[in-house]
Every structure is written in structure tokens, then in C-alpha cells.
Amino acid sequence: MTPGADADARSGVGLCLSGGGFRATLFHLGALRRLNELGVISKLDTISSVSGGSITAAALATALAAGAPLDWDRGVVAPLRAFTSRDRRTAAVFARLLPWNWFRSDTGVRALEREYAAHLMLLRLTALPERPTFVLCATDMQFGVNWVFERDRAGDFQAGYVSPPTADWPLALAVAASSCFPPIFNPRKLRLDPGRFTGGRFPAGRRRDRLVRGMRLTDGGNYDNLGLEPVWKTHQVVLVSDGGAPFDVSEDRGLLWRVERYSAIAQNQAHAVRVRWLIDSFKSNEFAGTYWGVGSAPSSYDTSYPGYTKALATEVISRIRKAARRRRGRRTPTG
């Protein structure tokens, strides 16, 4: 990673919401509830999100944009629970199989975008709250870097940025691009005017214009599943909520399993390196902050930070959760 700003030049509090599907969406919902109870949400300057984390971020942004005092349960929890209680992917995936969609490679992600717009988020990007700054991350397939959707701009450091974003871009487009996990969904195509994008590092010319004009975006987790890129170089405090799945051991299941496994191992190692770097940055006082995750424990990173030990989580907390699930199951009517 390239160096960040000096400690004296850093400012603000950034929250990163990782990818990880609906599991991450609901994991972050619980984390945000606690941060809201502690009064942290109102102190955030930036919320950076990826994939499943972008669903949570968009729900929060929609509630905040209403302008009224935040009703957490009604404005954030209820819409997200209703949305995640149903399968939203299958219909979007099968839309690609309809004969009139055979030659439209991004039909699936466009159908997913319509699901987001119809059931969870009606905002335009330009209607996002001014504070905190919401940064929804996707992966630029052309230049291979992190692409951002914000209230005041969209783009990346290679292609450049359009500021403000196109007026008719819905928030649902940004969330769909951020969460179109391959190979289930093909990249989202964008029809862009290269002349509106400025400040990019890639040399100006016909090739650059052709690349920008043919822009395709895929799941933000392909580049940075923690959502660190928009905040780690500039913010004084970095909070990271990691809803990604712990890596599972598995026996060989054949050729198709191996092909998927190669990619999973590479992604898991990249994720592990980012987390170790993050913890080292906290320890070296490059910036302040904290990290919590689905399968993490402070004892894994040789730190003195407080938190649950692995033994407590596996021997005590997990048993309490299993017992609670069994009790809920006995209370659930069967017919």
C-alpha cells in the first residue's frame, strides 16, 4: 500500500462496512445499532461500504436523508429485515436466461438494481446526506482499481471523476454495482461521457476515452472487501466492521470445486494481509481505530486491545446463541 497522510494531516472518523452478502448486511446492522446507542453515528465523517455493506449503508443513508430525527427501528432496522428476509438474487439471475436478454450481459445486475430501488432505496446519488459522506465502492474492470460513488462525485483515480455524478443515477445503481458478485452477476455497464471525467492519472487520448466509455463495474470486494481505500490514507480514526465469512477447510470435491477454491484461497490471503496491515497500523499509531469481524478475536493479532477471547466466544457465547435458537424454534408454530 502507498503511504497515507502524516498523522498531523489526518482528520475525521471513518467507518468501513465490508462485503459478505446478506450475512454482512445484517452483521453491520447490529454493529451500527450499537454505534448509534453509543452516539458514534453522529460523529462519523465518512462511511465507506462494499457489496453487502453497501446495502446497509444505503438503508442508513435513506433514513438520514429524510431529514427527521432518526427512528432507528422503523427507519433502518425494519426495511433491512424485510428486504433480507426474501431471496432477491434468484429472479435477477434467471432474468438473464430469457431469450430477449441473451445478448444483454448485465441483465442480472440491472434486475438486482430494480429490486433495490423497489424495496429499499429510492434516493438519487445526488440526494445522499451531506454528512456523513457515504462512499459506495465497486471495482473498475477496465483499470483494475477501486471505483467510488458519492454524493458529489463518481469515478476513480485512473479514469478520473465526474463531479457531480449524473443527475439521474439512482442510489440503487451504486449498490447494485457494488454488490454484483461474480460469476453470479456480470459487471454493470455504464454509458459514460469521457469528456466529463477529469483528474485521472491515465494519459489522455483515444485509448483512455475508449476505456472510460466502455466502463464496466463489478463487486467492490474484488479490489478491497474491507472498504478501506476511501478512508485509511486521510482519516484520523478508522473503524472497520468485517462481515466476511471465515475461511472454511474442505476436502477435494472435483475440478469445479478446485477452480473456485483457487480463487477463494487467493482472496482469503489478500484479506488476511489487509487485516494484519490494519492491526499493525493501529499498533504503530499510524492512525487510531478498531476492527471487529465475524470470525476475529484480539488474541489472533498479538494486541493488548480489549475484546472477547476465542475461548469465550466458542465455549460460552456460541452455546448461549445455540440455546437461544433452540428456544425460538420450539416457540415457532408449525402449522
Q: Where are the domains of the chain?
A: 7-296
% the chain with pLDDT above 70: 84
Contact between residue 28 and residue 76 where contact means Cβ atoms under 8 Å apart = no
Q: What is the pLDDT of residue 257?
A: 81
Output the pLDDT for position 317. Answer: 57
On the question of pLDDT at 63 being above 60, the answer is: yes
> For residues 65 and 148, is the Cβ–Cβ distance under 8 A?
no
Give every CB contact of residue 225 below 8 A, 6+ residues apart in sequence. Answer: 18, 19, 20, 50, 51, 244, 267, 271, 274
pLDDT tens digit string along 75-85? 999 999 999 99
Show Cβ contacts of residue 201 under 8 Å, excluding neighbours closer than 6 positions. 157, 158
pLDDT at residue 269 tops 70: yes
Tell me the pLDDT of the chain averaged across its residues.
Answer: 87
Looking at domain 7-296, what is its CATH homologous superfamily? Cytosolic phospholipase A2 catalytic domain (3.40.1090.10)
SS3 of 28-86: the string is HHHHHHHHHHCCCHHHCCEEEEECHHHHHHHHHHHHHHCCCCCCHHHHHHHHHHHHHCC
Range of lowest pLDDT (170-184, 225-239, 263-277, 297-311) = 297-311
The pLDDT confidence band at residue 56, using thresholds 50, 70 and 90, is very high
- The larger pLDDT score, comparing residue 87 to residue 196, is at 196
As given in the structure block, the three cell numbers for residue 258 are 478446485
Convert the pLDDT of each residue in 206-229 to its tens digit.
Answer: 999 999 999 999 999 999 999 999
DSSP, res 316:
I
User: Is the pLDDT at 334 greater than 50, yes or no?
Assistant: no
pLDDT of residue 305: 58
Query: What are the grid coordinates assigned to 79, written together?
Result: 426495511
Q: What percent of the chain shows pLDDT beyond 90?
A: 62
Q: Exposed (0-12), middle (13-18) or buried (19+): which is 333, by Cβ within 10 Å?
A: exposed
- Classified as helix, coil or strand, 311 is helix
Residues 279-309: tens digit of each pLDDT: 999 999 999 999 999 877 666 656 555 666 6
* Higher local confidence (pLDDT), 264 or 78: 78
Query: What pLDDT is stored for residue 332 in this prediction?
Result: 42
CA–CA distance, 104 with 169 (Å, rounded to integer): 20
Sign of CA dihedral 201, 203, 204, 210: negative
Per-residue pLDDT at 335: 35
Choice between 124 and 2, residue whose per-residue pLDDT is larger: 124
Angle ∠(56,61,66) on CA atoms, nearest 5: 135
For residue 333, name the pLDDT band (cuts at 50, 70, 90).
very low
**33-42, 49-58, 207-216, 245-254: range with lowest mean pLDDT:** 245-254
Q: What is the pLDDT of residue 313?
A: 60
pTM of the full structure: 0.86
Cell of 112: 438486482
